Amino acid sequence: MAEVFKQADFPWWIAGGRAIELFAGHELRTHGDLDVLVLRRDQTRAQECLSGWDLHVADPPGTGKLRAWSFGEILEEPLHDIWCRRTPDSPWSVQLMLDDAVGEEWVSRRDPRVRMPIPRLSRVASDGTPYLAPEVQLFYKAKHTREKDEVDFEAVLPLLDQGQRAWLLGALDMTKLGRLWRKRLN
């Protein structure tokens, strides 16, 4: 994705479990795809970067139903997941996720009260690849934790600084998510 988005003039981030691994500095588990986050306002520019790829939006969200994402089509809430593959015969390899922003502040699609300045959202791997701040990624994973999410949480928890822990705990308290994680963060 770094190659695909190398000319991007907008922020983008590796997300999901791979973002957690970039923060941890090593691989934790196998992955079925690569998650990439972009801001909803940059979706058409992200679509241009993926020109030539086979792109389908999850519509309606959570149903497992996909439909082609037409070039230039603006996806509004609640649409936020785009499945990407290089060709129609290739396996799905990238999940492009859209999140909102107000000015220079990222806004969670799960709860608009959960926010962070966009510059704080970003970390950069040693090779220059941008990835999502681990506390934000863990916030998203806390809604329905699976075994892989627990692996990610366990790996990252000792690496989070006080500010990251405080932000994550505040976001989880506000949304009443991650009851067991909140206990561990306290």
Find the mean pLDDT for residues 90-104.
Answer: 97
Residue 116 banded pLDDT, cuts 50, 70, 90: very high
Q: The domain spanning residue 24 has which CATH number?
A: 3.30.460
- Asked if the structure places residue 52 within a domain, the reply is yes
Determine contact, residues 175/112, Cβ cutoff 8 Å: no
Exposure class string for 99-113: b at 16+ Cβ within 10 A, else e = bbbeeeebbbbeeee
Say if 181 falls within a structural domain.
no
CB 38 within 8 A of CB 75: no
pLDDT of amino acid 98: 98
User: Is 17 inside any structural domain?
Assistant: yes
Structure tokens at 119: 């510059």
Owning domain of residue 37: 12-133
What pLDDT shows up at residue 52? 94
Q: What is the pLDDT of residues 145-162, one digit of tens each?
A: 999 999 999 999 999 999
**Amino acid in the structure at residue 132:** L
- Residue 88, in any domain of the structure: yes
DSSP one-letter string for 117-149: EHHHHEEE-TTS-EEE-HHHHHHHHTSS--HHH
**pLDDT tens readout for residues 25-82:** 999 999 989 999 999 999 999 999 999 999 999 998 888 899 999 999 999 999 999 9
The pLDDT value recorded for residue 60 is: 87
162: tokens are 């006080």
Determine, yes or no, domain membership for 39. yes
How many independent structural domains does the chain possess?
A: 1
Residue 133: Cβ-neighbour burial (10 angstroms; 0-12, 13-18, 19+): buried
Q: Please indicate, yes or no, if residue 68 is contained in any of the structural domains.
A: yes
